[in-house]
Amino acid sequence: MWRSPISLVISLVCVALCPAQELRVPASVTAGDDASISTTGSGKATFYLLGPGASRKSDVNLGEEIRLPGKDVQHAGEYVAVLCSSTCDSATFYVSAAKPMTLAFVVHPSRVPVAENEAVSGVAFPFDQYDNLVLAPETISFQLASKNAPAISKATRTEDGVAWFRTASGKSAGPVQITASLGDITEKRALQQVASDPCNLRIKGERTAKGIVVETDPVHDCAGNVVPDGTIITFTASDATGKSTVDAPVKAGIAKAQIDASGPAVITVASGIVMGNELRIGGQQ
């Protein structure tokens, strides 16, 4: 069992000086609860309490209980009690966190493409009213809810004060509300699901006095979501003079471009690694 450096030093001193046990600490203490330490012997003594965020010195009567008010043991961790009269005796005890009162909840990322495996994760930490991390196992319920899909729920037991989940993103673009609950404690976070890469690109075009005008059908991802404006669509024209390329952003769901070509041309479309149909346009009459 790990012991703090202060506890080890005091114990070594007491090995040499303490002929008998003079105090008995409680088996367990909950943060913020009153506690007491029993003593043996008679006469006056000096009591010291050292712990996380706590330091106390007081005069006591041996043979009487030493009261520890809740404010002295609000911080979870190891405490050292020392009792000195003609000799000194020491003992350690541990203060555990009280019941959970708040949840620290983090969700990543804030924006995620749809239909991505293991793309959304969340972590929750329960804390008591004194900001101690609650290490005792607790069950935290996570729920993901969006407008166009059934809610997804998962209950997870904390381990060493933490519970987490990881899941795929949904198939529909839009906001997702994620909730972590522990009893009456609830924390909510939100993320935005956005369209994934374009899928099934289709183009159409016609010749004009200035060349060839081509445009896409409304551009969607494979789940049917309209891709966001600004997504780049690449048009490539091949004719007798060679190849020319035009990059056009999607606006209101459609990408449009003008290609300078007077003779017959074959036009293809792509976005990233996604290819679309091939379009053949005749030459000027």
**In the predicted model, what is the mean pLDDT of residues 248-271?**
91
If asked whether residues 202 and 189 sit together in one domain, one would say no
Alpha carbon distance 44, 86 (integer Å): 10
Alpha carbon distance 107, 70 (integer Å): 35
Which range marks the domain in which residue 111 is found?
102-194
If asked whether residues 109 and 142 sit together in one domain, one would say yes
If asked whether residues 10 and 92 sit together in one domain, one would say yes
Cα 145 off chain centre by: 17
pTM: 0.75
Exposure on the CB side of residue 76, measured as CA atoms within 13 A: 16
**Is it the case that residue 273 has pLDDT exceeding 90?**
no
The fraction of the chain above a pLDDT of 90, given in percent, is: 72
Number of domains in the chain: 3
**Is it the case that residue 263 has pLDDT exceeding 70?**
yes
If asked whether residues 148 and 170 sit together in one domain, one would say yes
Alpha carbon distance 102, 82 (integer Å): 34
**Is it the case that residue 14 has pLDDT exceeding 50?**
no
Q: Is cis: bond before 69, omega within 30 of 0?
A: no
Q: What is the pLDDT of residues 131-163, one digit of tens each?
A: 999 999 999 999 999 887 888 999 999 999 999
If asked whether residues 114 and 73 sit together in one domain, one would say no
**Do the bridges between strand 185-194 and strand 220-221 make them parallel or antiparallel, or are there none, so unpaired?**
unpaired
The last residue of a domain, from among 162, 194, 226: 194
If asked whether residues 106 and 190 sit together in one domain, one would say yes
- Predicted confidence band at 71 (pLDDT cuts at 50, 70, 90)? very high
If asked whether residues 163 and 226 sit together in one domain, one would say no
Q: Locate 173 and state its tokens.
A: 């673009």
If asked whether residues 92 and 80 sit together in one domain, one would say yes
Provide the CATH number for the domain around residue 214.
2.60.40.1930
Q: What is the pLDDT of residues 96-136, one digit of tens each?
A: 999 999 999 999 999 999 999 999 999 999 999 999 999 99
